[in-house]
C-alpha cells in the first residue's frame, strides 16, 4: 500500500507536522513488518504557510508543496495525486492550515480527488460557524473514514454535524515509543538540578493559560521553595507575526509582580521527541492550564500521559476523557488557588504523586505510535477496499429530486413587510437601512406566482399583492418606474435603471399570463400598458432582454395584440443586431465582454422565437448559449463569470476569466435559459445542464460549498475568493427560489414529454412501415 499524506511537514514548527511525522513513521513501521519498505510506502503533500515554496527544507518524501493561499496549488495537487501511484490519501485537517475562510480552499482539492481518502480531524468545534460546519460536512462526504481522537469528537460529529456514526473511527493520539532514560541528563543541569519542576510545553499563545500557573506559584513556593516552573516551547508563529513576544513578556512581568520570577524559567526552543521525553520524565508534575473547555485533542497532554507524568490540568474536553480513572487530576479553569492546593498536596504526598505516574504510564502503553500506526493502517486498508458488485450502475436521472431541499418561503417572509421585500440582509436578518428596490419586488412577484401555481401555496398568494402594490407605488405618472424606496417609504430616485424597468415588465407580463384571478390580471395589464411607450427608450441589452421576456409572456395570453407583437419584433431585432456587430469566429456573443446576468440575452431570444417563430432568433440564441455553456462548464460544474472584472473579448481566455465574485442571479439565468432551450428543442442535455446549474446553489461550485442555507432558508449573496458572502439578501434568495421552482417545473415537463413520446411510438412505427 502506498499512502499520500496531506499535512503540514517538519521543519515547519507545527504540532500537526509533528503528529503527521509520527503517523508516517508508525505506518511505515507496520508496513515494514508486512515486508513493504522504502519510498514505495508513501509520499508527502506539504502545506506551506507562505508563498515561498523553498522556505522550509522539507524531507525528500515531500513531492508536492501547496502554498496555503494560492488556490491554483490545490487544483494542481489534486491532479498530481490522481495521476500518482498512491493507493489512498491521509489528510490531517485543521482549519488554520488551509487557505480561505476557515480553510475553504481545501474543498476544491477534495472534490477533484479520485483516490480514497481518510481524514484526521484535529479540531471539532461544538459551535462551528456556518462555513466551518459545511466544510466538515463536505470533508465527511469525500472521506471513506473520519478519524477522531476522543469520544466527545464522535458525539459532536453525530449530533452537531449530522455525520453517520459508521463513518467515524476513534484512534487516540499516539505517543513516543520511548522509555525514561536510566540516567536523565537534565537532572544535573539548570533548572532541574536540586529543584522540583512543574512543567508545561508547546507553542505559546494566550489560550494556554500559563498565567494561572504563575499566579499559583506564590502559594506553592511558600510550602515548597525548591519548586521551579519550566515552560518549554516557542511562541506560536501566528502570534509572533501579530504581536511578537508580547505574551511571553507579559508572563515575565506577572512573575516579577508576584515575586516568583526566580521560580519561572522559559526555554524558548523546539525539541525532538527524545529530548522531550527527558523533560517529561525529569519533571515532578506536568500542567496543562488551558483557559476553556473547547480543546477536543491535546497532543501535549497525550505525550505527558504516555511518558508516565503526573498530570494536573484544567477540565477541557480531552483532559476530562484522558485523565479519567485516576490518570491525572483536574482543577477549575483560571483557578490559581485550586491549582496550588492540588500541586501542594501531590508534592507533600509522594505516594499520591507516584500513583498518578504509574496509572498514566500503564495507560500510555497502548497509545504508543507502533500500535496507533497499526490502527491507522487498518483504516487505510479498509478505505482502499472497494466491493465489486458486478452490476452495471443504474442510469442517472436527468434531475435527481432527492437532493432538492424542501421548498420554503421562510426567509422571504422574514424579508417582507407591508411595503415590499427589503433588498438586503446582514446574514439572515433584514437590513432595514437599505430599504427596498423595484428589481427585487419584481422578482418576488414572479417567484410567488410560481410558488402558488406549483404548490398551491396560500402563503405565496398572501405575499403577491404586497409586491404588486410596490410596483404600482413605484410607477411614475408617465408610466416609467422608479427603483429605490427608503424604509420610511421615501422615493430615492426619479427614474430607475433599464434593468429594473425590464424586470418589472417581465413580472407584469408573467402575472398577466399566470394571474390567479382577473383582478390581478387587469391591474397588471394597466401597469404594463402605461409602460409600453418607454420600450423605445431602451438602450441597454439586459433591459431590452428582460422586457422581451415580459412581452412574450403577455402575448401567450394575448396573441392578437399586434402592437406588442410589433414591439417584440423590434426589440428582437435590436438584440440580433448587437449579436451581428460583435460576433467573430471565436466570440459568439452580443457584446465585447461578458458581464452579469449573461444568460438573459439568449433566454430572451428563445422566448421571442416561441411567440413569433422567428428562426434567426432561435439560431442565434442556441449558438450564444453554446458559447456561454463552454465557458461556464469548463470544469464539469457551473463556474460563471465572476463580478471581479469582466470577461473581455480581446483578452486571453484563461487569464482574463474572473472567477469571483459569482452571483446568484447569473445562476438563475442559466437555469431559466436551459429550461427554455429544452422547451424549444426537447434536447435532454439542456435538462442536465439546467440541473447542474441549479446545483451551484447546493455546493457544486468552485469552492464546493452550498450557498443555500438550510437553517435560514435563504441564499448567500455570492461566492467570493475566500468563501461565502454570508449576507442573504432578497436578490440571491429569490434567485435560488426561482431556480428551485424552475427545476421542479422541468421535472413535470420531462415527464410529460416522455409520456407523449411513448404514446407516439406506435404511430411512428406504423408510419415507418
Q: How far apart (Å, rounded) are the C-alpha atoms in residues 217 and 754?
A: 81
Contact between 605 and 622 under an 8 Å Cβ cutoff? The reply is: no
Is 392 a residue whose pLDDT tops 80? Answer: no
Q: What is the mean pLDDT of residues 594-620?
A: 97
* pLDDT at res. 35: 81
Average of per-residue pLDDT values in the chain: 92
pLDDT of 750 strictly over 90 = no
- Mean pLDDT over 675-699 rounds to 95
* C-alpha to C-alpha distance for 200 and 304, rounded to whole angstroms: 9
pLDDT digits (tens, 9 = 90+) for 506-523: 999 999 999 999 999 999
pLDDT at 207: 83
Domain ranges of the chain: 3-174+377-384, 185-367, 409-428+436-537
- pLDDT confidence of residue 643: 82
Taking 70 as the threshold, does the pLDDT of residue 767 lie above it?
no
Return d(Cα 190, Cα 119) in angstroms, integer: 42
Q: How confident is the model at residue 180 (pLDDT cuts 50, 70, 90)?
A: confident
Per-residue pLDDT at 393 exceeds 80: no
Q: Whole-angstrom Cα distance, residue 684 to residue 369? A: 55
Give the lowest-confidence range in 68-77, 249-258, 748-757.
Answer: 748-757
Taking 50 as the threshold, does the pLDDT of residue 229 lie above it? yes
Residues 6+ apart with CB under 8 A from 688: 398
What pLDDT shows up at residue 656?
Answer: 61
| 606: CB partners within 8 A, 6+ apart | 617, 618, 621, 673, 676, 677, 679, 680
Contact between 376 and 24 (Cβ < 8 Å): no
Q: Are 95 and 81 in contact (CB under 8 A)?
A: no
CA distance 77 to 141: 20
Residues 157/146, Cβ–Cβ less than 8 Å: yes
> Are 375 and 171 spatial neighbours (Cβ–Cβ below 8 Å)?
yes
Under CATH, to which class is 3-174+377-384 assigned? alpha beta
Q: Are 607 and 669 in contact (CB under 8 A)?
A: no
pLDDT band at 288 (very low <50, low <70, confident <90, very high): very high
Average pLDDT over residues 201-225: 94
φ and ψ of 175, to 5 deg: -135, 160
**CATH no. for 185-367:** 3.40.50.2000
The pLDDT, as a whole number, for residue 236 is 76
pLDDT, residue 658, reads 77
Cis peptide before 499 (omega within 30 of 0): no
Model pLDDT, residue 39: 62
Q: What is the pLDDT of residues 150-179, one digit of tens each?
A: 999 999 999 999 999 999 999 999 999 988
Q: Which three cell numbers stand for residue 219?
A: 502559594
| pLDDT given at position 262 | 95
Task: Give the pLDDT score at 748.
Answer: 80
pLDDT recorded at residue 389:
38
3-state secondary structure of 148: strand
Above pLDDT 90, what percent of the chain? 81
Q: Which CATH class is domain 409-428+436-537?
A: mainly alpha
The answer on pLDDT for 769 being more than 50 is: no
- Mean of pLDDT values over 33-51: 84
Contact 468, 524 (CB under 8 A): yes
pLDDT band at 395 (very low <50, low <70, confident <90, very high): low
Nearest to 441 by CA among 392, 483, 476, 399: 483
CB hemisphere CA count around 130 (13 angstroms): 19
The pLDDT value recorded for residue 753 is 57
Q: How far apart are CA 77 and CA 70, in angstroms?
A: 11
pLDDT tens-place string over residues 445-476: 999 999 999 989 899 999 999 999 999 999 99
Q: What is the pLDDT, as a whole number, of residue 756?
A: 55
Tell whether the model's pLDDT for residue 651 goes beyond 70.
no
Asked if domains 3-174+377-384 and 409-428+436-537 share a fold, the reply is no
pLDDT, mean of residues 304-318: 95
| Helix intervals (H) in 532-591 | 541-557, 562-582
Amino acid at each position: 500500500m502506498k499512502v499520500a499524506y496531506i499535512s503540514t511537514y517538519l521543519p515547519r514548527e507545527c504540532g500537526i507536522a509533528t503528529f503527521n511525522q509520527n503517523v508516517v513513521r508508525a505506518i511505515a513501521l507496520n508496513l515494514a513488518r508486512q515486508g513493504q519498505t522504502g519510498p514505495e510506502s508513501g509520499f508527502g503533500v506539504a502545506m506551506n504557510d507562505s508563498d515561498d515554496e523553498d522556505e522550509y527544507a522539507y524531507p525528500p518524501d515531500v513531492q508536492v508543496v501547496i502554498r496555503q493561499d494560492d488556490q491554483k496549488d490545490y487544483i494542481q495537487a489534486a491532479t498530481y495525486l490522481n495521476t500518482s501511484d498512491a493507493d489512498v490519501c491521509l489528510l490531517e485537517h485543521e482549519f488554520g492550515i488551509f487557505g480561505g475562510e476557515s480553510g475553504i480552499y481545501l474543498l476544491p482539492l477534495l472534490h477533484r480527488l479520485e483516490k480514497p481518502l481518510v481524514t484526521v480531524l484535529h479540531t471539532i468545534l461544538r459551535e462551528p460557524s456556518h462555513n466551518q460546519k459545511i466544510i466538515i460536512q463536505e470533508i465527511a462526504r469525500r472521506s471513506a473514514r473520519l478519524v477522531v481522537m476522543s469520544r466527545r469528537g464522535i458525539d459532536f460529529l453525530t449530533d452537531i454535524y449530522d455525520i453517520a456514526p459508521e463513518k467515524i473511527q476513534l484512534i487516540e493520539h499516539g505517543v513516543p515509543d520511548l522509555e525514561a532514560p536510566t540516567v536523565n541528563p537534565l537532572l544535573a543541569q539548570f533548572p532541574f538540578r536540586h529543584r522540583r519542576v512543574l512543567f508545561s510545553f508547546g507553542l505559546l499563545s494566550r489560550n494556554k493559560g500559563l498565567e494561572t500557573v504563575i499566579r499559583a506559584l506564590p502559594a506553592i513556593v511558600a510550602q515548597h521553595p525548591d519548586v521551579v516552573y519550566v515552560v518549554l516551547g516557542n511562541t506560536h508563529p501566528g502570534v509572533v507575526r501579530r504581536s511578537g513576544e508580547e505574551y511571553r513578556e507579559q508572563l515575565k512581568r506577572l512573575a516579577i509582580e508576584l515575586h516568583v520570577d526566580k521560580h519561572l524559567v522559559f526555554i524558548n526552543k523546539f525539541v525532538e521527541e527524545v529530548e522531550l521525553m527527558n523533560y517529561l520524565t525529569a519533571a515532578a508534575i506536568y500542567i496543562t492550564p488551558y483557559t476553556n473547555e473547547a480543546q477536543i485533542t491535546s497532543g501535549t497532554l497525550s505525550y505527558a500521559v504516555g511518558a508516565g507524568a503526573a498530570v494536573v490540568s484544567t477540565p477541557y474536553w480531552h483532559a476530562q476523557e484522558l485523565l479519567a480513572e485516576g490518570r491525572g487530576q483536574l482543577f477549575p479553569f483560571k483557578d490559581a488557588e485550586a491549582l496550588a492546593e492540588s500541586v501542594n498536596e501531590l508534592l507533600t504526598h509522594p505516594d499520591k504523586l507516584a500513583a498518578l505516574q504509574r496509572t498514566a504510564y500503564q495507560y500510555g502503553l497502548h497509545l504508543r505510535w507502533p500500535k496507533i500506526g497499526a490502527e491507522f493502517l487498518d483504516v487505510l486498508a479498509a478505505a482502499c477496499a472497494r466491493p465489486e458488485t458486478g452490476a452495471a450502475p443504474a442510469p442517472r436521472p436527468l434531475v435527481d429530486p432527492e437532493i432538492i431541499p424542501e421548498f420554503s418561503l421562510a426567509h422571504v417572509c422574514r424579508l417582507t413587510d407591508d411595503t415590499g421585500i427589503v433588498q438586503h440582509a446582514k446574514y439572515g436578518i433584514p437590513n432595514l437601512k437599505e430599504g427596498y428596490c423595484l428589481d427585487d419586488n419584481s422578482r418576488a412577484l414572479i417567484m410567488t406566482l410560481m410558488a402558488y401555481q406549483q404548490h398551491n401555496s396560500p402563503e405565496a398568494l398572501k405575499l403577491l399583492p404586497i409586491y404588486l402594490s410596490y410596483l404600482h407605488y413605484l410607477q411614475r405618472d408617465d408610466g416609467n418606474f422608479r427603483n429605490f424606496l427608503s424604509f420610511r417609504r421615501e422615493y430615492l430616485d426619479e427614474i430607475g435603471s433599464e434593468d429594473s424597468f425590464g424586470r418589472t415588465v417581465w413580472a407584469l407580463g408573467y402575472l398577466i399570463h399566470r394571474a390567479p384571478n382577473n383582478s390581478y390580471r387587469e391591474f397588471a395589464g394597466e401597469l404594463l400598458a402605461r409602460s409600453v411607450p418607454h420600450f423605445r427608450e431602451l438602450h441597454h441589452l439586459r433591459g431590452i432582454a428582460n422586457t422581451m421576456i415580459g412581452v412574450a409572456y403577455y402575448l401567450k395570453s394575448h396573441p392578437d395584440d399586434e402592437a406588442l407583437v410589433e414591439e417584440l419584433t423590434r426589440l428582437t431585432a435590436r438584440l440580433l443586431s448587437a449579436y451581428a456587430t460583435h460576433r467573430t469566429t471565436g466570440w459568439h456573443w452580443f457584446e465585447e465582454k461578458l458581464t452579469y446576468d449573461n444568460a438573459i440575452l439568449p433566454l430572451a431570444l428563445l422566448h421571442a422565437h416561441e411567440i413569433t417563430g422567428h428562426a434567426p432568433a432561435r439560431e442565434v440564441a442556441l449558438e450564444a448559449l453554446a458559447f456561454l455553456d463552454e465557458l461556464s462548464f469548463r470544469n464539469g460544474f457551473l463556474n460563471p463569470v465572476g463580478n471581479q472584472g469582466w470577461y473581455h473579448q480581446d483578452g486571453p481566455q484563461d487569464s482574463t476569466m474572473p472567477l469571483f465574485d459569482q452571483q446568484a442571479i447569473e445562476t438563475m439565468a442559466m437555469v431559466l435559459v436551459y429550461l427554455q432551450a429544452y422547451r424549444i428543442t426537447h434536447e435532454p442535455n439542456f435538462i442536465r445542464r439546467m440541473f447542474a446549474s441549479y446545483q451551484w446553489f447546493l455546493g457544486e461550485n468552485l469552492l464546493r460549498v452550498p450557498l443555500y442555507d438550510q437553517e435560514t432558508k435563504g441564499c448567500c449573496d455570492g461566492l467570493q475568493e475566500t468563501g461565502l458572502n454570508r449576507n442573504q439578501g432578497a436578490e440571491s434568495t429569490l434567485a435560488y427560489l426561482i431556480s428551485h421552482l424552475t427545476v421542479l417545473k422541468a421535472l413535470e415537463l420531462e415527464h410529460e414529454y416522455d409520456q407523449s413520446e411513448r404514446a407516439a411510438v406506435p404511430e411512428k412505427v406504423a408510419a415507418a412501415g
